[in-house]
Chains A and B, each alone.
Chain A
């Protein structure tokens, strides 16, 4: 590392050389300034708001906290969020893994198109997703007749909320597995096959262990995104209290009905869950970086 960018240790600073020390001081000042600016920005944008929500949620006291979290509305809301997230995880993980596999290991015309399609949800506003769902399953929608004939309620019910969440979360697992698969190469699989392993054996003994961290990373990202979804879910839910009110919708409604404290508490809880998921992501990311650079 060069002398300019490496922080010089005390040992390295030779006695004498006032000019050098002055240069050093200036360097440290510039460095300190940059760090200070960054910290100030983060304080305004993130740290301050985090403190704000923690204070607002905990100020009324521990009793209020527990009362809120155990209230029926809140429990139902979280349960609904949990159901949506669970199904989303199931679908996006399995189908996402297959998609990643096809994208990386297969060569076919239209692969680039498929690649672009995977990124598409990232470019879409959740509002747009919600509207698309209404268009497909709502009154006059393309698929409405088929489902209503069978007595299945999609719009304003759980199924549509699951569908939009799947759409929105689709890219995460694909994009987190694909690079790992790519880096992995086919060598290990080929070796396994020459040693007599069947496809299933190769899958479970060779492929899955190797893409483990990428997979977990994708799952963590999906979870965080799914529990935090509001825009699309709001549109398709019709907001029937107790029936289609997710945790995020609960927060929105709480503030609308001037139940600020409850809103803050549930919001903080959602943030807390997400941050734990983030912690897992950080650890995973570090392992994934080490793995990809192997």
Chain B
């Protein structure tokens, strides 16, 4: 009797950890396979195809007409859009956190719209209101400003698409700020602007930078809205993602892969860097608390 009970006990003691361990490895295996298959394999394909012949594909791609202009255009417009949204995004975050007014919820929802609207539809929307056949488009046209099928349109599209990034990174930081520091500054004689500069800005600067970097990375790869709005004129309004697309359509997958890898490498490094920035900021806050 005793030995049977002992055996059962022993078996139970043995089974539990093995079962848990199996489950652990099973889950981890699933996750690893998922990520491996879905992420690693495609990336490997791109990189290997693009650089299987060394830099030949890359050089060949970049010798196409408009190639370097496309890269430059993409970098410049993405950077400008990121800066514009850094400014307005910070203002919007401030308004949403510090001001009380009816319709604040509506404003918050509007700011989140670009995350929901398909990028192509964003392009369509811009054409609908600023296109050459619209009243606003015609008025701007007569003033010499062309939006659609011009670089301004690209900038506008990128501004729309990356609008929420800075707002969303700055908002939580503003929410967490203790107004006591600002009150202390005021009592010590600092004006409202001085208080903002000395107390609020240092606190939100990292968040603004993180948001702007994310916006920039996002802008580099934007396709749907830009392809619709820009007219894709080689050397003038052709951006890097559209250029890559054209290369693929011309059955030059290796060249497309080469340029795509370069673009992707920049974005990926930015995203990684920004994530770490955000995580260390949060960790510092938690440690200090």
Contact = CB atoms under 8 A, between A and B. Distances in A.
Query: Are chains A and B touching directly in their complex (CB below 8 angstroms)?
Result: yes
Contact of A125 (B108, B118, B241): B241
A125 B221 contact: yes
Contact of B120 (A131, A221, A252): A252
Interface residues of A, number: 89
Contacts of B186: 2, 4
A227 B116 CA distance: 10
Interface string A1-16: 1101101000000000
B19 to A, nearest CB: 9
A224 interface: yes
Given A2-B182, A106-B24, A231-B241, A134 B100 contact: no
B125 A53 contact: yes
Interface residues of B, number: 90
A147 interface: no
B264 interface: yes
Interface of B is mostly: helix
A53 B121 contact: yes
Interface stretch (A42-50, A60-68, A72-80, A207-215): A42-50
B45 interface: yes
Given A127-B244, A275-B116, A278-B109, 8 more contacts: A127-B221, A132-B45, A134-B248, A136-B41, A141-B45, A230-B119, A281-B116, A282-B108
Interface of A: 1-2, 4-5, 7, 27, 30-31, 34-35, 37-38, 41-42, 44-53, 55-56, 95, 98-99, 101-103, 106, 108, 114, 116-136, 138, 141-142, 166-167, 170, 199, 221, 224, 227-231, 234-235, 248, 251-252, 255, 263-264, 267-268, 270-271, 274-275, 277-279, 281-282
Interface of B: 23-24, 27-28, 30-32, 34-35, 38-43, 45-46, 49, 88, 91-92, 94-95, 98-101, 105, 107-122, 124-126, 128-130, 134, 136, 156, 159-160, 163, 179, 182-183, 186, 192, 195, 217-218, 220-224, 227-228, 241-242, 244-245, 248-249, 253, 256-257, 260-261, 263-264, 267-268, 270-272, 275
